[in-house]
Structure formats: structure tokens, C-alpha cells
Amino acid sequence: MKLWRGIIEEYRELMSLDADAPVVTLYEGGTPLIPAPAFARNLGVRADIRLKLEGANPTGSFKDRGMTAAISKALADGARVVICASTGNTSASAAAYAARAGLRCVVVIPDGAIAMGKLAQAIAHGAEVVPIRGNFDRALSIVREMADAGLATLVNSVNPWRIEGQKTAAFEIVDQLGSGLAGSAAAAAAAGAAAAPDWLAIPVGNAGNITAYWKGFREYAARGRSASLPRMAGFQAAGAAPIVLGRPVEHPETIATAIRIGNPASWASARAAADDSGGFIDSVTDEEILEAYRLLAQTEGVFAEPASCASAAGLIKMARDGRLQDGQRAVAVLTGNGLKDPSTAIDCAPPVRAAVDADCDAVRRLIEERV
């Protein structure tokens, strides 16, 4: 059995890190790409839907791909302190990788607006958590100023090493799809090279990840390792959809706290990814996000956090309005693990029934009542 070595070692020739730089890794990447036949049946089109389970990364989100690169580089450059603004997952990942590297980590978060599991992670890894009375966009401008003043190294996705690491997910998708393709992507793969899916559906918040994926797909194609490029379909939450609206949103609101962002730092490159690929950036409502959230959990056994489900909700929307068609292959990136946000899971489901007596008759009655 070949052991997975983490994204830097697995894709070193495609990453511009110095060969002798230290590598800080939790062996991230190598996440599952799984078929979702029940989900696809619910869409009413005969499309081949795959889910990229980024919640299977060591801290439970895609951020780990970028953080192994950003923290390795910070360490190589002699940093002592790293800093980030976060809607939750960046802080969890930065805290974990900084702990492994022996660096001090400061995370600035919107007070009361990040999911409990993520806050727990940052605290557990010993990060210094600074809640502010303001939203993510304000937190990002504060940490940028701290970094510019030389107080710490910034590890948000405006740090190019984050993008460098996160682009590896695109490599993996092409590698995992590999040979034996069916559907229209198969034509592109006729020469024997692996190919990208027809569509790559992805949630968009600060817009670093869509930027990274598009970079990855293009680089793989340029090296002849992918016979095609996907169309990029980015999805913002309707209450936090600045790119769709074409203007910043001062008070972004959505149940998907990870993408509650009103003025994305990588706005221009996200726009370019959508336009250059022949795709688009659209929005999905909180109701649509929760519909996808339940569907994935209850028909596919996949528990992804609400922001992640913007991609799956987007595919449902695309199937309904005809943008996703029979015979096409689409990959939905599920960016974070559902366990990060237990409150949403509990709040959005019927209440767990009251306790019954601890005897077989009481339990049997309940089972029989249901059938």
C-alpha cells in the first residue's frame, strides 16, 4: 500500500516551494471523490454527480491544503507569529498547523458568528482568539493592517501560498476521475489522458478557493495531465452574494456562516475563473442550502457543513433550470465537515423524542409505531 504523503510531497513538482524548505504537514489531501447516485436521481437529470469530500481533511475542511503551504513557507521565512481573520475554518486550520510548527497563532473572528466546532478547534490548538464586534470583512482588514505593520505573517487566502496549496484539489479530482470516463467529458479523454469534469460546483465566500481550483485545472491541462477544463460554477449564499449583485454587501446574512462575506478579497480572480471557463457565479438561498444539506445527509450518508452545501444546492438549481444536462459529469466540492456546526444540524431537524423507560417493550412500541 502506497502511503499518502500530504499535498506538498504528492505534488511537489507542481508547487514552487524550495526543495529544502521545512514541510509542516498533517498529511492533508487525498480526500475521497465519491459518486452520489441517490442525490443525482433527486435532480431529475441523468448526470454523473461526484462529491469531493474536503471535510475529510485533518481539521475537517479544505483550508488544510492551503495551510500546509502557507505555514511551511512562514516557517521557512523565519516567522514567529501567524495571524488570520476567519469565519471559522481558517482559524481551526491555522491553529492546528501553527501548533505543529511551534508558531504563535492569532485569530480574529466576528464575535458570536462562527460555528461552535470551529471555535473549539482554535481553542484546543492553543490559538489566541480575538473576537471583534464586526463582521469577517472588518476582521480581514484589521489582520491585513497587523501583517503590513510587521506584527505577524498573514495566512488568509490573500497569501499566495494558500492558493498554491488549495489548487491541488483540482489535480486530485482529475487524477481520481482518471480513466474509464462515461459522458461528455469522455470525449476529451479519448486520447487516454484523464479529464476534468464538465462542471465544478463550489461555494464562494472570500473567493480564494474557486481561484485556486481554476489555477489548478489550468496548470494540469497545460502540463498535459488533463485533457479538458471544467466550467466553474460558483455559488454564494443569497444573503451574502456580492459578486452576483456586482457590489459589496454591507451586512451579509446567511445560515452558512463560513461564507457570510460581503466583500471578497479574491473577487476579481473569482470573476475571471467563472468567465474564462464559460461558467458563472450564482446564488442559492438558505432554504436551498438546507434542502441540499438534508438530501446529502439522508440519501448519501454525507454530512457536510451548510456552507459546503451551497455547491450541491447549486447543482439542484442547475438541474431545475436546464444548465446541468443528461450525460454530463459534475463534481460538487463539499468544503467542510458537518460536525463543525452541530447547532445547525440540531436546530434544523425535528426534536429528538423524549426519553422512554429503559425496557424492551417501550423501545419495541416505538419501532412498531413507526412501521
Q: How far is the CB of 243 from ligand PLP (least distance, A)?
A: 10
User: In whole angstroms, how far apart are CA 84 and each of 113, 351, 360?
Assistant: 16, 37, 53
User: In whole angstroms, how far apart are CA 58 and each of 89, 104, 125, 126, 318?
Assistant: 12, 20, 13, 17, 31
CB 281 within 8 A of CB 244: yes
Residues 300-329 that bind ligand PLP (CB under 6 A): 305, 307-308
Which of 31, 57, 61, 328 binds ligand PLP (CB under 6 A)? It is 61
Which listed range, 21-29, 32-40, 203-211, 347-355, lies at the site for ligand PLP (CB under 6 A)?
Answer: 203-211
Q: DSSP character for 88?
A: S
Is residue 336 involved in binding ligand PLP (CB under 6 A)? Answer: yes
Distance of CA 339 to the CA centre of its chain: 14
Backbone angle region of 246, left / alpha / beta, with phi > 0 → left and psi within -120 to 50 → alpha: left
Is residue 263 involved in binding ligand PLP (CB under 6 A)? Answer: no
Q: What is the DSSP string of 214-242?
A: HHHHHHHHHTTS-S--PEEEEEEETTB-H
Binding mask 65-94 for ligand PLP (x = CB under 6 A): ----------------------x-xx----
Residues 106-165 that bind ligand PLP (CB under 6 A): 157
Bridge pairing between strands 48-53 and 33-35: antiparallel
Q: How far is the CB of 63 from ligand PLP (least distance, A)?
A: 7
Closer CB to ligand PLP, residue 99 or residue 207? Answer: 207
Closer CB to ligand PLP, residue 72 or residue 166? Answer: 166
Closer CB to ligand PLP, residue 50 or residue 52? Answer: 52
Which of 96, 170, 221, 259 binds ligand PLP (CB under 6 A)? It is 259
Closer CB to ligand PLP, residue 84 or residue 318? Answer: 84
Q: Other CB atoms closer than 10 Å to residue 351's CB: what's the count?
A: 7
Residues with Cβ within 8 Å of 353's Cβ and at least 6 positions away in sequence, in order, are: 366
Is residue 170 involved in binding ligand PLP (CB under 6 A)? Answer: no
Q: How far is the CB of 259 from ligand PLP (least distance, A)?
A: 5
Residue 129: its H or E element? strand 128-132
Residues that bind ligand PLP (CB under 6 A): 61, 87, 89-90, 157, 203-209, 258-259, 305, 307-308, 335-336
